[in-house]
Structure 1
Amino acid sequence: MNITYRWLVIYVLFLSFPLVVFSQNTTTLKIEEIMQGQSWVGHSPSNLRWSDDSKTLYFDWNPENLPGDSLYYTDLGELTPQKVPPTSRRSLPSFSGKINKKGDLKIYEKDGDLFLLEIPTGNIKQLTHSIQRESNPDFLNDNSRIVFQIGGNLHTWDLKNGQIRQLTNFRKGYAGKKDKPMLSKSDQWLKQDQLNHFEVLKLRKEKREAREKIREQHKPRRPKAIYHGNKSVSALQLSPDEKFVTFRLTETLKGAKSTVVPNYVTEGGYTEDIKARSKVGGNHTTYKMGILDLERDSCYYLNVEDIPGIYDIPAYLRTNKKKVSTSAKMREAVALGPLWSENGRQAVIVVRALDNKDRWIMSLDVRTGEPRLLDRQQDDAWIGGPGIGSWNFSMGKVGWMPDNESIWYVSEESGYAHLCVVNTKSGKKKTVTKGKFEIYNPQISRDKKYFYFGSNEAHPGERHYYKVSVNGGKPIKLTQLAGRNDVFLSPDEKTMAILHSYTNQPWELYLAENKADNQPKRITHSQAESFKTYSWRDPEIVTFKASDGAKVNARLYRPSQPQPDGPAVIFVHGAGYLQNAHKWWSSYYREFMFHNYLADHGYTVLDIDYRGSAGYGRDWRTGIYRYMGGKDLEDQVDGARFLTEKYNVSPQRIGIYGGSYGGFITLMAMFTKPGTFKAGAALRSVTDWAHYNHPYTANILNTPELDSMAYIKSSPIYYAEGLQDALLICHGMVDTNVHFQDVVRLAQRLIELGKENWEFAVYPVENHGFVEPSSWIDEYKRIFQLFERNLK
């Protein structure tokens, strides 16, 4: 063998061994350590809340790594965190509740009783001490009385003389059925025959009825009984003039069926069934807003029949070519509110179609139950976005302007979530913020001169805090630190408490003056020593062009010495309405650390904000409508191509993994894009959208009985025969979100198809979000071994 040939053989043999490249970190990461969670990283402060006098900030924190968080506080004068002793904690007033207009009294509920706080002195007076729960207290206009709720009915309490008055009398069942026994027709005939035969019986009956009538006339006035059958009553609210009560009736129709999740590993040794959600399309619930006129002692209901567009047929159901078509059937809707103006003269409500394709903001005449349109937001996909809401019964961000004639709200009419104002009398509208960015959690200032809000104006992956004149103009940036800044204003609005984090730095607490040129002061130091021993990467935010021309943002992790034709992994974050290609500490912090671990072992990692991710406006949010696994999956495929073209990654050595929606995308990738990804790990994955919940799924895919093709196109179980490459499936057995049944059904499908290149790991005590470090460790060891076997 000549020397040249010998060196060639050695070179080929060298290439045949797995190539492992470590970063320049002196500390070697271990899966057993990074999957310990916050005990290894450090516990960040959370749940910030101010004292009512704006002098003290309270927050949950656990710097001592105890089994649970403790309550801490910092005074503005000292800025040093101190733990609140248990005795002091029990005596603290509730951080929720209502403050009177003068600002010197606060009424709140704590442990089912009512308390009154004198804010200037800190004195607390307990108003009730009972077994029954008093809740939802608020001040009435004169501040000398409060309104509150007991057992589903409203009451008032006069703070001067202690008099309690019941305002409503809602009762289950039906009028008359509990008061008198129902007689059969034959018994009714016998009774009348007796009265016809015997004069004494007739006279006694007349006298008894006369006595009862006199007795009723002398009884003190009681609220009229309102029977609501088997419906439930909620959202009780007294109007500022105390003349009307609004409420919501909810009825779950017969046939609605819940699912059951078996729990096999229990303390008692028996399998226990957990009652869980219904499946999409099985949510047979109707809603009605009622109005009780206390003066006229009458009850009537909101008239929704004349709401513009309530009869519109959704675009996906139209068979004709008309832009809008209507039917004789009215769409179901729910009314939220009302929200009263500060002077108590006007009310607005938000009405949402239950198919979530329309959101109407309307003024309400409580005297008649007639609403009047102020703004209609319509979307052929679904209404959503920051400050607008879509999956719960929230009015979204809505409030009154200082003139008591205009309201502010958030709308995606421009394509991005922005502040708008409409005059309730003239109907004139204007926008307060505008641009290709979104705003978050707006609130109007105490003096009604400014709006405060968070915004990603600087970059889709960065959040700062701003204020802008209520009349519009250029927003003023109030935060300085790069990354994300979640601000909690003190009640007097002089101080900002800021939860701040950066890509590779967990959340910490800062305090700063409420002005543009402030200098934030750090209050907490939360990182554990174990976390600080490693030099964590600051992944680059990169942008690539998708096959349809869209620009897609992603996080990129690189080895310190990337090798030619090296391996790569694409991570797919979960959905709900999330993003992960951002510049702050991720809720996927274990995955962040795992990606550093992968980069240390020679992998390039790409973490994509695919179609459907938050932060990029309406069109990006609804890009998955009627086809999950369409554009969102193509973004992963285009990301893989981007890695091969720009970062010298081998197209034969790319893997993919993710949890929940990320697990779903992984399955769709492995089943419908064979060869693109040589290995995939699908964690807690949806396999068939017809088995997921209603609020999330019906927005995106409508319902299976009305839009079956959307479900077939979007569900991995229909494409399982396409599996060619190595697949790992991991799932918790007590997952009450994506049920274990999902992957059991898929496993049976793969078995029947004769597939062999897949494995299945189950976690008997885990829900959707894993809790036990042992489960995290086992899962991520399996993921790493999958990539090592197939990508190296």
Structure 2
Amino acid sequence: MKTKITIAIAAALMTVACAGSEPLSQGSAHANTPSSQGLASETITTTSARQVNTEAPITMTQIMADPDWLGRSPESAYWSWDGRHVLFDRKREGSPQRDRFIRALTEGGNGAVVALSELHQHAYANGVFNADRSLKAYIFERNIFVLSTDTGSVMQLTRDSANKSDVQFLADGRLSYRSGNDFYAVNLANGFTEQLASLQMQDAPKPVKDPADILMQEEIDLIEYNRVQRRIQLERHEDQERLQQENPSLAPKPIYLGRNQQIAEVSLSPAGDRMIVALTEPQTWRGDSDLMPRYVTETGRIENQDVRRRVADAKPVHHTLWLIDIATGEKTELSYASLPGWDEDVLRSVREENYAARGDTYVSERKARAIGVMPRWSAPEGNIIWNQDGSAVALMLRAWDNKDRWIATVDLEGARLNSQHRLHDEAWINRDFNAFNWLPNSQQLWFLSEESNYSHLYVRDVARGTTRQVTSGRYLVDEVTLNHAADTFYFQANKEHPGIFEIYRVPVAGGQVERLTHLEGITSYVLSPDESRLLLTHSSALQPPELYVQTTEPGATVTRLTETVTDEFLAMPWPAPEIVPVPSSHVDDPIYSRVYLPDNFDPNRAEAYPAVVFIHGAGYLQNAHAGWSNYFREFMFHSKLTQQGYVVLDLDFRGSAGYGRDWRTAVYRQMGTPEVEDLVDVVAWMGEHRNVDVERVGTYGGSYGGFLTFMALFNEPGLFKAGAALRPVTDWAHYNTGYTSNILNLPQDDMIAYRRSSPIYFAEGLEDALLISAPMVDANVFFQDSVRLVQRLIELEKENFETAIFPVEDHGFVQPSSWLDQYRRIYKLFEDNLK
């Protein structure tokens, strides 16, 4: 039995219903019950409270037009310094450029564009605070500004064209920053600026020494000019050394890091006395990268573009860690040998299997693995983090094979890494959920980890060597904010349903998790400066993102701030999808899917419905959720299909985001196998539960979705009568390193996984209609992928396929005419084969 429950959102124009045994109100105690992820009885049905013209035709031309006609939603929202305004970006109409908007909480409308002459006064979203939070420093257009959080006044510290980064307040109140490989500190009281350190990527100059050989000695003894020049050189060197030592007005001597190295990461201590530097060999694309020809150019001539290297050409990247004493310039290498597993042969079983397949025997040995600092884009709090006074530092490290992630502190006196946490994964460490930081004025670190299958909060007591778990359950914790008092964590989580993300909080000491928002879609947040309110970016399945505000009290009233969606879009008859947990025949957890039904759907109609299954891209991405989809064109296309009598299903196959580590890594070494098994299950479910004719089902998808379209058509002929593969991967050995090597290892280590996972090896299985849609200047999935597969299909003498090329498009299409042409072809494919 299913009971629909509707939660009203004030002024939001939308409502959401979810299935359960009893009505769920905002004050219900059910809000704090364990997550229902994995319960196949739970279904969400999105509904609309607005008036729409249900007879209005949805046209392909409108769907694929410039998306400005939908509206231009707020992006990257943040609070003003005093919490009285919100600021956000909006796409400029008819242009890819963004404008900055500001809106007072007490005013209506969507705010006003910030004048270009005033942008520098409002660019503090990612700024850093001093110890008492009275000042906030930030960079705008390469220059440094300081905002007073007492008065709102802004002081400009620099006005030049040099790039600057790594702004931070030092423990003594000065402000430091990096320009190139030089580090400076500014005394805000008097403006005095000094260079703290200059890192030079070259060998230290050699001092004047004794003659190098007998010929040099003879020349000095024989020629007076040489003797005089040598004496002058020695005197000049000695004078400069004494001046450097005795005159405090001079900049410190450079710190020489050696040739043929580049800085991967560097971090200055808040005490200003030490640095940690990660060095690596120079990384260049040229030499083992590819060239991509462009045929449509302004010059009328073919132009070549450098593009990424392939995973088959990948070389390990290793960082050498150095602890540097700034005063003396002394460098001490931080060895990885203290990290558990630093020299393990983590691919032993994989290599043994591949060697045996070649008739060889693999001999395992322990040797140092390539290890480095976690990339900054994967560690939102930072990857080298000092405590407030610079007396302690923690680093997040990862193995290049991505089977291990470590959080390590540094014994600053002993120059030694001390492992505080090791996260090992036989598959791969997630690119998400790597936030960590110090708890202020303590020897404790908080961090996120997937070790319990789901991302959760942990606190590590460095002094005691103990770790405790703060949150637990079948849900994901992300977007963590620690309050000023350091006693409460705020975070985003999908605690009540895997497709609904709300805002929660929990005491740092542990205890009850409080649900703060009840918007029933996808909601992210920014805590206000005084920590009394939440700035929310919220969307639902039929409502693009808008801004809201509420207090931090659980279940508080929500006020909507923006209305940027057009009346034209709101008036269209978009069907509200169900979110259905489709039972899996292979694993215990269900396959969550969005299901779109035609108007006046009749489950008992004599003639069963044709259907289309959409396969999302990226692999690790969630699309069967209750929020606005990034696949908004596909959502509108699905709406058109329902008007034409199709049932449409959009699934989160195994490998998708949002469902924990085990669901994510199910595709390890077998991309395309569990996902196609899930496709088989959802097609069977549609036939049994949504009156679908399983002999008239088509599929399509882009990128990873295009890859899976191939795998389904080649390995399960007859499952789909037609499929469209857009910008598709056909051979994973030709894709990039960062994505592919995590899931399939390297081709030289695991060719079994590549052959098992690449459609080009299964092309002989094609029996059903296939459309290949290939952009020609795709720098992500190369056009060559499609070309090689077409040649393979020709050699196999396959007949039922066609190829559409798009000469000016990259991986993400831009031109409305290209979108329109592509989807007209997909629509025709379905009409010709499924009707």
Alignment of 1:51 onto 2:85:
no
Aligned residue for 1:390? none
Q: Tell me what 1:519 maps to.
A: 557
Which stretch shows the higher mean deviation, 265-274 or 213-222? 213-222
Give the whole-Å Cα distance in 2 for the aligned partners of 1:268 and 1:654.
Answer: 45
How far apart are residue 402 of structure 1 and its match? 4.2
- 2:789 maps to 746
Aligned partners of 2:57 and 2:167: how far apart in 1?
A: 56
In the alignment, is residue 601 of structure 1 matched against residue 644 of structure 2? yes
- Aligned residue in 2 for 1:293: 325
- The one of 347, 350, 361 aligned to 1:317: 350
Give the secondary structure class of the aligned counterpart of 1:267.
coil
Shift of 1:477: 0.9
The one-letter code matched in structure 2 to 1:439 is V
Would you say the 8 A contact 2:171–2:390 is kept in 1? no
Tell me how far apart the structure 1 counterparts of residues 414 and 664 of structure 2 sit (CA, whole Å): 39
Aligned partners of 1:166 and 1:223 also within 8 Å:
no
Q: Distance in 1 between matches of 2:372 and 2:291?
A: 28
TM-score, scaled relative to structure 1 = 0.90
Q: Is the 8 A contact 1:112 1:134 kept in 2?
A: yes
* 2:133 is equivalent to residue 106 of structure 1: no
| 1-structure distance, mates of 2:210, 2:238 | 22
Amino acid at match of 2:572: Y
Could you tell which deviates more after superposition, 686-695 or 638-647?
Answer: 638-647
Is the 8 Å Cα contact of residues 94 and 108 (structure 1) preserved in structure 2? Answer: yes
Cα gap change, 1:773 to 1:244, in 2 (>3 Å): same
Match of 1:391 in 2: none
What amino acid sits opposite 1:209 in the alignment? L
**Distance (Å, rounded) in 2 between the aligned partners of 1:152 and 1:538:** 54
Q: Which residue of 2 aligns with 1:502?
A: 540
Counterpart-to-counterpart distance in 2, 1:66 and 1:628: 38
CA distance in 2, matches of 1:422, 1:231: 34
Paired residue type of 2:160: S
Contact 1:468–1:474 (8 Å) recurs in 2: yes
Q: Is 1:684 the equivalent of 2:722?
A: no
Distance, in Å, in 2 between the alignment partners of 1:765 and 1:102 is 53
Distance 1:201 1:92 in 2: 61
CA displacement at 1:195 relative to structure 2:
2.9
Read off the aligned partner of 1:425 and give its amino acid letter.
A
Deviates more, 1:713-722 or 1:40-49: 40-49
User: CA contact under 8 A between 1:724 and 1:757: conserved in structure 2?
Assistant: yes
Equivalence for 1:346: 392
The offset of 1:326, in angstroms, is 7.2
Q: Give distance in 1, aligned partners of 2:466 and 2:192.
A: 45
Structure 1 gaps of 5+ residues are 1-22, 388-395
- Quick one: which amino acid aligns to residue 488 of structure 2? Y
The corresponding residue for 1:756 is 799
User: CA offsets, 1:269-291, max 9 Å, x none?
Assistant: 22222222211143333322222
User: Partners of 1:669 and 1:267 in 2: how far apart?
Assistant: 40
Q: How far off its partner does 1:228 sit?
A: 2.7
Q: How does 1:563-582 map to 2 (within 5 A)?
A: 563=605, 564-582=607-625
1:375 matched to 2:421: yes
- CA–CA distance in 1 between the matches of 2:99 and 2:237? 61
2:339 is aligned to 307
Q: Distance in 2 between matches of 1:36 and 1:118?
A: 45
Structure 1 position 736 matched with structure 2 position 779:
yes
Corresponding residue of 1:19: none
Where in structure 2 are the equivalents of 1:247-266 lying within 5 Å? 247-252=277-282, 257-266=288-297
SS in 1 for 2:668: coil
Alpha-carbon spacing, 1:64–1:529, altered in 2? closer, same or farther (3 Å): farther
* Residue 207 of structure 1, CA deviation: 6.3
Note closer, same or farther for the CA distance 1:211–1:181 as it changes in structure 2 (3 Å cut): closer
- Where in structure 2 are the equivalents of 1:660-679 lying within 5 Å? 660-679=703-722
Contact 1:109–1:136 (8 Å) recurs in 2: no
State the 1:455 CA deviation: 0.7
Give the superposition deviation at 1:372.
Answer: 0.9
SS in structure 2 at match of 1:473 = coil
Q: Which residue of 2 aligns with 1:267?
A: 298
- Secondary structure of 2:146's counterpart equals strand
* Deviation sequence 1:254-313 (CA, Å, 0-9, x none): 896222222221223222222222111433333222221123320122211231111111
Whether 1:119 aligns to 2:119 is: no
CA distance in 1, matches of 2:53, 2:222: 109
SS in structure 2 of the partner of residue 249 of structure 1: strand
**Percent of aligned positions that are identical:** 39
Cα pair distance change 1:718/1:256, threshold 3 Å: same
* Residue identity matched to 2:428: W
Measured at CA, do residues 31 and 243 of structure 1 come closer, stay the same or move farther in structure 2, by a change above 3 Å? same
Which aligned pairs between 1:3-42 and structure 2 lie closer than 5 A? Answer: 25-42=54-71
1:211 deviates by 5.2
Match of 2:165 in 1: 135
Tell whether the 8 Å contact from 1:655 to 1:680 is kept in structure 2 after alignment. Answer: yes
Structure 2: distance between partners of 1:208 and 1:85? 59
Q: Secondary structure at the match of 2:423?
A: strand
User: What is the CA–CA distance in structure 1 between the aligned matches of 2:834 and 2:175, rounded to whole Å?
Assistant: 67
What SS does structure 2 have at the residue aligned with 1:622? helix
Aligned residue for 1:149?
A: 178
The code of the aligned residue for 1:434 comes to S
In 1: Cα distance, 2:209 partner to 2:568 partner? 74
Cα displacement (A) at 1:443: 1.6
**What is residue 440 of structure 1 aligned with on the other side?**
478
1:194 to 1:467, Cα distance in 2 relative to 1, 3 A: same
TM-score, normalised by the number of residues in structure 2: 0.86
SS of 1:638's equivalent in the other structure is helix
Gap change, CA 1:754 and 1:350, over 3 Å in 2: same
Q: What SS does the corresponding residue of 1:305 show, helix, strand or coil?
A: helix
> In the TM superposition, what is the alpha-carbon distance from 1:168 to its structure 2 partner?
2.1
Q: Note the C-alpha offset of 1:239.
A: 1.2
Q: Distance in 2 between matches of 1:182 and 1:209?
A: 11
Tell me the distance in 1 between the aligned counterparts of 2:431 and 2:199: 36
Deviation larger for 160-169 or 239-248: 160-169
Q: Distance in 2 between matches of 1:182 and 1:569?
A: 82
Task: Letter of the 2:472 partner, please give it.
Answer: K
| Aligned with 1:554 (options 571, 574, 593) | 593
Aligned residue number for residue 416 of structure 1 = 454
Residue among 554, 570, 593 paired with 1:532: 570
- Matches of 2:298 and 2:82, distance apart in 1: 47
Once the two structures are overlaid, the 10-residue window that deviates more, 491-500 or 711-720, is 491-500
Task: Select 2:111's aligned residue among 70, 77, 82.
Answer: 82
Q: CA deviation at 1:365?
A: 1.5
CA deviation after TM superposition for structure 1 residue 120, in Å: 2.2
Indicate how the Cα distance of structure 1 residues 726 and 298 shifts in structure 2: closer, same or farther if over 3 A, else same: same
Quick check: 1:190 aligned with 2:215?
Answer: yes
CA distance in 1, matches of 2:108, 2:567: 23
Change in Cα spacing, 1:484 to 1:759, as seen in structure 2 (3 Å) is same
SS at match of 1:359: strand
Q: Does 1:725 align with 2:777?
A: no
Where does residue 237 of structure 1 map in the other structure? Answer: 267
| Amino acid in structure 2 at the alignment position of 1:355 | D
Does structure 2 conserve the Cα–Cα contact (< 8 Å) formed by 1:114 and 1:135?
no
CA distance in 1, matches of 2:706, 2:232: 77
Distance in 2, matches of 1:684 and 1:437, equals 33
Letter in 2 for 1:701: L
Mapped to 1, the partners of 2:242 and 2:731 lie a distance apart of: 64
Secondary structure of 2:723's aligned partner: strand
Name the amino acid aligned to 1:706. Answer: D
Worse-matched range after superposition: 96-105 or 255-264: 255-264
Secondary structure of the residue aligned to 1:168 is strand
Aligned-partner Cα distance in 1 for 2:120–2:661? 46
CA 659–27 in structure 1, closer or farther in 2 if over 3 Å, else same = same
Shift of 1:771: 1.0
- Secondary structure of the structure 1 residue equivalent to 2:569: helix
